[in-house]
Amino acid sequence: MNPRSALSRRLFLQGTGISLTLPAFESFAADKAPPRRLVCVGNHLGFYPGHFFPKDTGKAYTATSTLKPLEADRDDLAIFSNLDHGLNGGHNAVQGFLNSIKKEEAAGFPDKNISLDQAAAEHVGSATRFPSIHTGISNGTDMCWDRAGVHVPPVNNPATLFRALFVNSPPNARAAERTRLKHRGSVLDALRDSASALNRTLNAPDRDKLDQYLTSVRDVEKRLQMSKEWLDRPKPMPPIDEVLDEERQHIDEVALLYDLMALALQTDSTRITTLETGMGFRTAELDLDSYHGISHHGKAPGRIEQLQVVESFLTTKLSHFMTRLKEAQILDNTLIVFGSGMSDGSSHSNRNLPVLLAGGGIQHRGHLVCPEAAHQRVPLSNLWLSVLNWFGSEVERFGRSIGTFSPMKIG
């Protein structure tokens, strides 16, 4: 990338409504820019609106109980009101948080219901050992989806994630994996040869479809080749003691998974990580009733007070994670998406979703209130598109987006 194109790229990103504060580089050469990272955190049961959204706007907002644990991070936060995907369906629509599309609707979209994290992972490719790492607490984790519309299952055992990041496979296991990759490569060769022969018998529209298919085959081949290269590369030395398989409380798992995510980013084992707390997230360790039960608060004061405890716990852990990234000096190159595909768990509303962005070297503007009027509504997927552009992907559409997130649309 020459200096002119790099500078143009920076101006384009400013035009999305997200102003960037970039470090001073010796040049605009792409290979000298630090890698960008994306973290997506979702909570299946939403956040009580009265505890999440500030009443005032801008950077001088008065922090609500859910946001108070993030007070030290105020300059690195943006909170958004009146953004959603226009979805209905309660729990079933939560799966659309990072893509704006429910699974049953996916066939009608060119990229199906690929989620924000997986779209970013495609941009990274095999530049890191793991294109993305998806973690989850308990059941009900359905936040991440690939381009084929297939759910990406989470890693919910911290010991499993530790081994993937830091424990090298023995030679016999690597040999078995090498054989598996070779077999998959031969299958792809056969598919490519068959498709090339078929191409001569097809009309123009079908040839276009076949060309798209062959492109996807070439992408798979590239990923397989990179997988072979990573197979024999030693993993980084673990900077913490080994995480062992043992029974843990969910509150301990949240902290441990955040720590492992931070290490995965810090060691450049991946540049995309996600964490989702599912419906079965246990809150007894916090001396609370069933989380799913208290989310159906019915405006009962006692249940709302319990929600305040668990939601403050979740943002406290987010603040600790941000501190880890600051200490590692990577927060300014890491953009964090935090929120839910559910607004109020009691009414099962999927409108006015609780969403905040953190980090990323962005000049955050505090609490941003988007228009409520139907004809002025800004799709949340507009914000996701701008996040992808920040990450370096030059896609022009994402999900139900109608453009990038622009201040011209929010007054």
**In 10 A of CB 110, how many CB atoms?**
7
Instruction: Point out which residues pair with 355 in neighbouring strands.
Output: 80, 339
> How many residues are given for the chain?
411
Tokens 């290979």 belong to 31
The pLDDT value given to residue 342: 95
The pLDDT value given to residue 332: 97
Structure tokens at 381: 């997927």
The pLDDT value given to residue 177: 66
The pLDDT value given to residue 185: 64
The pLDDT value given to residue 218: 60
**In 10 A of CB 125, how many CB atoms?**
12
The pLDDT value given to residue 137: 92
The pLDDT value given to residue 188: 64
The pLDDT value given to residue 219: 58
Q: Which ranges in 26-81 belong to alpha helices (H)?
A: 49-52
The pLDDT value given to residue 369: 95
The pLDDT value given to residue 2: 41
Task: Indicate the domain borders of the chain.
Answer: 3-161+248-409, 169-233
Q: What are the average pLDDT values for consecutive 10-residue runs of the chain, which has 411 residues?
A: 39 39 40 88 95 96 97 96 96 95 91 95 90 87 87 92 88 71 66 72 74 62 61 87 90 95 96 93 89 89 93 97 97 98 93 97 94 90 96 95 69 32
CATH tag, 3-161+248-409: 3.40.720.10
Please choose, from the candidates 237, 393, 263, 404, the residue with its C-alpha nearest in 3D space to the C-alpha of residue 328. Answer: 263
